[in-house]
Structure 1
Amino acid sequence: MNREVCAVVDPLLKDSGFADYLWVSPSAMMVSQWVRMKCMFGCPHYGKNASCPPNVPSVLECRELLSEYSMAVLIHLVCDIPSEGRKEWCRRSQMELVEAEKQIFLAGYERAFLLSFDNCNLCDECVPSPSECHHPYMRRPTMEAFAIDVYSSVRKLGYEVSVRRSPEDPEDRFALMLVL
Structure 2
Amino acid sequence: MNQEKIEEGLTQFPVCEYAFINIADITFLDQVRYICKTECPQYGKSWSCPPAVGTVEECKKRCSQYTGGFIFTTIAEVNDIANMEETLATRMEHEKITRQVRDLFAEQTEAIQVLSTESCAICKKCAYPDAPCRHPEKMFPCIESYGILVTDLAEKYGISFMNGANVVTWFSLLLYR
1:14-68: CA deviations, max 9, x gaps? 3233252111112211111111111111111101122111110221121112222
TM-score normalized by the length of structure 2: 0.83
Of 57, 71, 75 in structure 2, the residue corresponding to residue 74 of structure 1 is: 71
Instruction: Return the alpha-carbon distance in structure 2 between the equivalents of residues 125 and 169 of structure 1.
Output: 30
Matched, 1:91 2:88: no
Contact kept, 8 Å, 1:12 with 1:104, in 2: the verdict is no
Structure 1: gaps (5+ residues) = none
CA drift of 1:160 comes to: 4.2
TM-score normalized by the length of structure 1: 0.82
Contact kept, 8 Å, 1:90 with 1:121, in 2: the verdict is no
1:66-121: CA deviations, max 9, x gaps? 2222321110122322444433321232132123213321x141212211122212
**SS at 2:2 equivalent:** helix
Alignment map for 1:1-180 (pairs within 5 Å)? 5-82=2-79, 83=83, 84-105=85-106, 107-129=107-129, 131-161=131-161, 169-180=166-177
Contact kept, 8 Å, 1:49 with 1:128, in 2: the verdict is yes
Instruction: Return the alpha-carbon distance in structure 2 between the equivalents of residues 58 and 22 of structure 1.
Output: 26
Contact kept, 8 Å, 1:50 with 1:130, in 2: the verdict is no
Structure 2: gaps (5+ residues) = none
Letter in 2 for 1:70: T
CA drift of 1:148 comes to: 0.2
Instruction: Return the alpha-carbon distance in structure 2 between the equivalents of residues 170 and 27 of structure 1.
Output: 30
Instruction: Return the alpha-carbon distance in structure 1 between the equivalents of residues 112 and 125 of structure 2.
Output: 27
Give the count of matched residue pairs.
172
Letter in 2 for 1:38: I
Give the direction of change, closer, same or farther, for the CA distance of 1:123–1:91 in structure 2 (3 Å limit).
farther
CA drift of 1:146 comes to: 0.9
RMSD across aligned positions (CA) = 2.4
Contact kept, 8 Å, 2:14 with 2:74, in 1: the verdict is no
**SS at 2:36 equivalent:** helix
Relative to structure 2, which stretch is displaced further, 123-132 or 71-80? 123-132
**SS at 1:41 equivalent:** helix
How many percent identity over aligned positions? 23
Instruction: Return the alpha-carbon distance in structure 1 between the equivalents of residues 12 and 160 of structure 2.
Output: 26
**SS at 1:141 equivalent:** coil
CA drift of 1:130 comes to: 7.6
